[in-house]
Amino acid sequence: MAASDPVTSLSAGLLIYDLLSNDTAVKALSNKVFPVVSEAGAVLPYICYRRSNSVTTQVKSMSGADNQAIEVVCYAETYAASVKMAEAVRAAMEGGNICYTDSDGHRLVARSISLLESEENWMDDAYMQSMVFNVRINSVAPVTPPTPVQTPTENNSNNE
């Protein structure tokens, strides 16, 4: 991505990673957060997330906020640990006005995040808590400082 390219809601995973990997309660339960798939040989507990759906809302011929369905799956050795991690993830995710800023100053703002559905499972010797969140995102271009306007001085002492 070139320095001038804005980020869009397709970069929602960056916002989710930043949110989950920096949340104190989530980090206390697992410091491993992976986009899409875990690393080979990852040791429990850990979290994976992915964007599973994207819908843009049109508002008067302009795009409004994008709705991203983000699936977050918590993996743990025990059922109780998986539920505890899911509760921490939900508490970190729900709410709104969560902001991610990339290195070029482009911002993604999650105006609201709400839990749509959840389910639990057992797979590959791990308890799983799967949650799907609706994330409403706006992209914001970097703030560019205004160019100072130079005004001529009324009295120029050099022209006397």
Q: pLDDT tens digits for 37-96?
A: 998 889 999 999 999 988 877 666 665 678 999 999 999 999 999 999 999 999 999 976
Confidence (pLDDT) at 142: 56
Residue 55 lies in a domain: yes
How far apart CA 143 and CA 42 sit, in angstroms, is: 40
Can you point out the beta strands (E) in 60-102? Answer: 62-76, 98-101
- pLDDT category, 1, cuts 50, 70, 90? very low
Count of structural domains, the chain = 1
Confidence (pLDDT) at 44: 97
Residue 153 lies in a domain: no
Residue 124 lies in a domain: yes
In three-state secondary structure terms, 100 is strand
Indicate which CATH number applies to the domain containing 138: 3.30.2000.30
Domain assignment of residue 83, given as a range: 9-142
List pLDDT tens digits, range 109-124: 888 999 999 999 999 8
Residue 57 lies in a domain: yes
List pLDDT tens digits, range 53-67: 888 776 666 656 789
Residue 148 lies in a domain: no
Residue 152 lies in a domain: no
